[in-house]
Structure 1
Amino acid sequence: MKLNEKFFQAGANEPENVQDVLVENEKIVWNGKPQKKAFVLNNVLKMLPIAIIWIAFDSFFIAMVAMNFSALPPVAIPFLCIFFVAHLTPVWVWIYNCATASKRQKNTEYVFTNQRIIVRKGLIAADFKSIWYKDIAAVNLRYGLVDKLVKVGDIYVTSVGKATVLQDLDNPATVEAILQDLISSQKADVSYTDNAKVTYVKCKYCGTKNIEGKSANCSACGAPLD
Structure 2
Amino acid sequence: MYRLEKLLNADEKVLWSGKPVRKAFILPVLVSIPFGFIFLGFAIFWMGAAASSGAPNEFSLFGLLFVLIGIGIAFGPFLFQLLRYRNTEYMITDKRIVTQTGAIGLDTRFVDFEKVQEVYVQIGVLDRLFGTGSVYAMTAGFSGFAPRGGYGYGGYGGFGFNRPSLAALKEPYEVQKLLQEAIEQSKKTKTEL
**TM-score per shorter chain, which class?**
0.7 to 0.9
Structure with the bigger RCO (C-alpha within 8 Å, sep 6+) is 2
TM (normalized to structure 2)? 0.72
Residues 1:90 and 2:73 aligned together: yes
Mapped partners of 1:119, 1:30: distance in 2: 12
Conserved in 1, the CA contact under 8 Å of 2:43 and 2:64?
A: no
Residues 1:58 and 2:40 aligned together: yes
Distance 1:47 1:169, change over 3 A: same
Aligned to 2:17, what secondary structure does the other structure show? strand
Distance 1:151 1:57, change over 3 A: same
Distance 1:51 1:35, change over 3 A: closer
Aligned to 1:21, what secondary structure does the other structure show? coil
Alignment correspondent of 1:136: 116
Aligned length: 171
| 1:133-154 deviation per Cα after TM superposition (whole angstroms, max 9, x unaligned) | 1222322201122322232211
| 1:75-117 deviation per Cα after TM superposition (whole angstroms, max 9, x unaligned) | 33332222442355422423414xx62x644543211111111
Conserved in 2, the CA contact under 8 Å of 1:34 and 1:170?
A: yes
Aligned to 2:184, what secondary structure does the other structure show? helix
- Report the structure, 1 or 2, having the larger helix content: 2
Alignment correspondent of 1:114: 94
Mapped partners of 1:114, 1:74: distance in 2: 65
Conserved in 2, the CA contact under 8 Å of 1:44 and 1:94?
A: no
More moved, 76-85 vs 130-139: 76-85
Q: For structure 1, list consecutive stretches of 5 or more residues without a partner in the other structure.
A: 1-15, 188-201, 205-211, 213-224
Mapped partners of 1:203, 1:75: distance in 2: 72
TM (normalized to structure 1)? 0.63
Distance 1:57 1:17, change over 3 A: closer
Aligned to 1:29, what secondary structure does the other structure show? strand
Percent identity reads: 26
- Which residue type is aligned with residue 49 of structure 2? M
Q: Which of 20, 32, 35 in structure 2 is aligned with 1:34?
A: 20
| Structure whose alpha-carbon radius of gyration is higher | 1
Alignment correspondent of 2:183: 183
> What RMSD over aligned residues (CA atoms) do the two structures have, in Å?
2.8
Mapped partners of 1:156, 1:51: distance in 2: 29
Mapped partners of 2:114, 2:165: distance in 1: 18
Residues 1:151 and 2:125 aligned together: no
Conserved in 2, the CA contact under 8 Å of 1:121 and 1:127?
A: yes
Alignment correspondent of 2:160: none
How far residue 61 of structure 1 moved from its aligned partner, in angstroms, is 4.2
How far residue 69 of structure 1 moved from its aligned partner, in angstroms, is 0.5
Distance 1:87 1:55, change over 3 A: closer
Distance 1:35 1:57, change over 3 A: closer
Q: Which runs of 4+ in 1 moved over 6 A?
A: none
Distance 1:53 1:142, change over 3 A: same
Residues 1:79 and 2:59 aligned together: no
- Which residue type is aligned with residue 19 of structure 1? E
